Amino acid sequence: MSSQPAASAAPVVTVKLLLNGKFVESSTQEWQEVINPATQEVLASVPFATDAEINAAVAAAKQAYKTWKNTPIAARARIMLKLQALVREHMSRIAHTLSAEQGKTLADAEGDIFRGLEVVEHACSIGSLQLGEFAENVAGGVDTYSIRQPIGVCVGITPFNFPAMIPLWMFPMAIVCGNTFILKPSEQDPLTPMLLAELALEAGIPPGVLNIIHGGKRAVDALCSHPDIVAVSFVGSTGVGTHVYNLASQHGKRVQSMMGAKNHAVVMPDAHKEQSLNAVVGSTFGAAGQRCMATSVTVLVGAAQAWIPEIVAKAKTLKVNAGSEKGADLGPVISKSAKQRILGLVQDGLTEGAKLELDGRSVKVLGFEHGNFIGPTIFSGVTAKMKIYTQEIFGPVMVIVSVNSLDEAIEFVNNNPFGNGVGIFTQSGAAARKFQNEIDVGQVGINVPIPVPVPFFSFTGSRGSKLGDLGPYGKQVVQFYTQTKTITARWFDDSATSSGVNTTISLK
């Protein structure tokens, strides 16, 4: 969650702004500490950019757009080819920084970077992605064609939970389409996006094409209402995402807002028990449950209701430790306030009568006694009205719901307002097919626990998890970051005879 910074003097290690191709020190008086969630060590201090710095970023992007928009496609693609090579080369170094500031395990930090890297790889094929269309002879001697042009200065606002992947969802695709970009990363873990920005400059992204400012609500609101910004991509919580969508839309911007979630895994009695329970447990507790596509609700159907002891046994085997430590399965949650919020929801679950099958509240991690750790926690007997069901917990907490049939499971999931992801575990093709057809959730996994599409497709969360019709990456984001212009053309041939003045709408 974003918090307002306390006014203090700038400490020694400061996160820089990226303005017009240069990493510069902010002149702000507002700073916030970047804290290692496993140790509470202060890693750096992040500035909340001044209004003048925000305006300077927009001005630099606006100026750079004048030439960048006409840079040949192959030149843009070559920069992305270089960027993907650099990210790959520096993967381990970035993963260490990511794990230190975000808390996830090193293996998962590499996964975070890798899922972003896949988008950079896809950006290299912009030549075919941004192709237009051509129809010859739509009327006598008349051709119609469409071209996809860049739109201008675009903004990305990113959350704390994927400090590599989500910035990489945004700036490579925006830039490779010919736009210029301002990234406003999460103030909780800005070091990883800054490493990516260094590599982007090394790859050849010209001054002003990518800019980075830091801050919270003031910076976001300034960007969403700035007259020179044309599009805003947001990823984060539902409350903030709705605000961003409304504010930026009111100011005439194109907006896509990917927001909170409550993802269900429906486990049928005919599911492959061992594989399915491994998948569900891994997806619930991986990254300490701080994934927008984490399974947070397990729906046990019919005889699968008897599998709770196995789920609990599997969750007990997971090792809670600092992300830097070998063998860690889940690290700490991002902040002390996030931990308090999650513990508050666990208490609500108890108060409202859910059965606590596994209690991770008092987990101790040797050597990391000050970390924001919560162990895997499982509730059964959960109903649709309980707070642990209605609210996004965003922590290592599984809530188990029991139903008697697939129809009941589908109805239960469809009554939830969120629509980011859902999974079904079954060995029945007929059940899976019925499920994919009737379920009202934008991303469906069939025996796949975290169905985040690869970048040749788009990220297609739906309903309460998304505002705006076009999602990140894939073909949809090329539409988002470009404007289609359609041209209808006739070339007069000197030898052709004129048919006279035509006062109708038809093309002849």
Kindly state the smallest distance separating residue 200's Cβ from ligand NAD, in Å. 19
Kindly state the smallest distance separating residue 339's Cβ from ligand NAD, in Å. 13
- Strand 229-235, strand 254-258: pairing: parallel
Distance in angstroms (rounded) separating the CA atoms of residues 414 and 403: 14
The residue from 236, 286, 375, 376 that contacts ligand NAD (CB under 6 A) is 236
Q: What is the DSSP letter of 156?
A: E
Interaction between residue 249 and ligand NAD (CB under 6 A): no
- Window 388-427: residues binding ligand NAD (CB under 6 A): 392, 394, 420
Interaction between residue 465 and ligand NAD (CB under 6 A): yes
Stretch that binds ligand NAD, among 17-25, 106-114, 128-136, 160-168 (CB under 6 A): 160-168
CA pseudo-torsion sign 186, 35, 164, 19: positive
Size (the chain), residues: 508
**Contact letters for ligand NAD, residues 355-394 (x by CB under 6 A):** -------------------------------------x-x
**Contact letters for ligand NAD, residues 266-305 (x by CB under 6 A):** --------------------------x-------------
Burial (0-12, 13-18, 19+ Cβ within 10 Å), 73: middle
Kindly state the smallest distance separating residue 244's Cβ from ligand NAD, in Å. 6
Q: Give CA separation, 45 vs 33, 42, 104, 213, 458, in Å.
A: 4, 8, 20, 14, 35
* 3-class secondary structure, 317: coil
The residue from 243, 253, 264, 339 that contacts ligand NAD (CB under 6 A) is 243
Distance in angstroms (rounded) separating the CA atoms of residues 507 and 304: 65
Q: Give CA separation, 236 vs 162, 338, 394, 419, in Å.
A: 10, 14, 12, 15
Distance in angstroms (rounded) separating the CA atoms of residues 327 and 339: 22
Contact call for residues 120 and 175 (beta carbons, < 8 A): no
**Contact letters for ligand NAD, residues 112-151 (x by CB under 6 A):** ----------------------------------------
The residue from 159, 193, 331, 423 that contacts ligand NAD (CB under 6 A) is 159
Show which residues are catalytic. Answer: 292
Kindly state the smallest distance separating residue 218's Cβ from ligand NAD, in Å. 8
The residue from 36, 84, 158, 276 that contacts ligand NAD (CB under 6 A) is 158
Kindly state the smallest distance separating residue 191's Cβ from ligand NAD, in Å. 14
**Contact letters for ligand NAD, residues 169-208 (x by CB under 6 A):** ---------------x-xx---------------------
Nearer to ligand NAD, 53 or 325 (CB): 53
In the block, tokens 């240069």 appear at 22
The residue from 1, 73, 91, 448 that contacts ligand NAD (CB under 6 A) is 1
Contact call for residues 60 and 211 (beta carbons, < 8 A): yes
Distance in angstroms (rounded) separating the CA atoms of residues 507 and 498: 14
Distance in angstroms (rounded) separating the CA atoms of residues 410 and 436: 10
Nearer to ligand NAD, 150 or 455 (CB): 455
Distance in angstroms (rounded) separating the CA atoms of residues 184 and 218: 11
Instruction: List beta partners, residue 266.
Output: 299, 424
- The residues that touch ligand NAD, with contacts defined as CB under 6 A, are 1-2, 157-162, 184, 186-187, 216-217, 220, 235-237, 240, 243, 258-261, 292, 392, 394, 420, 461, 465
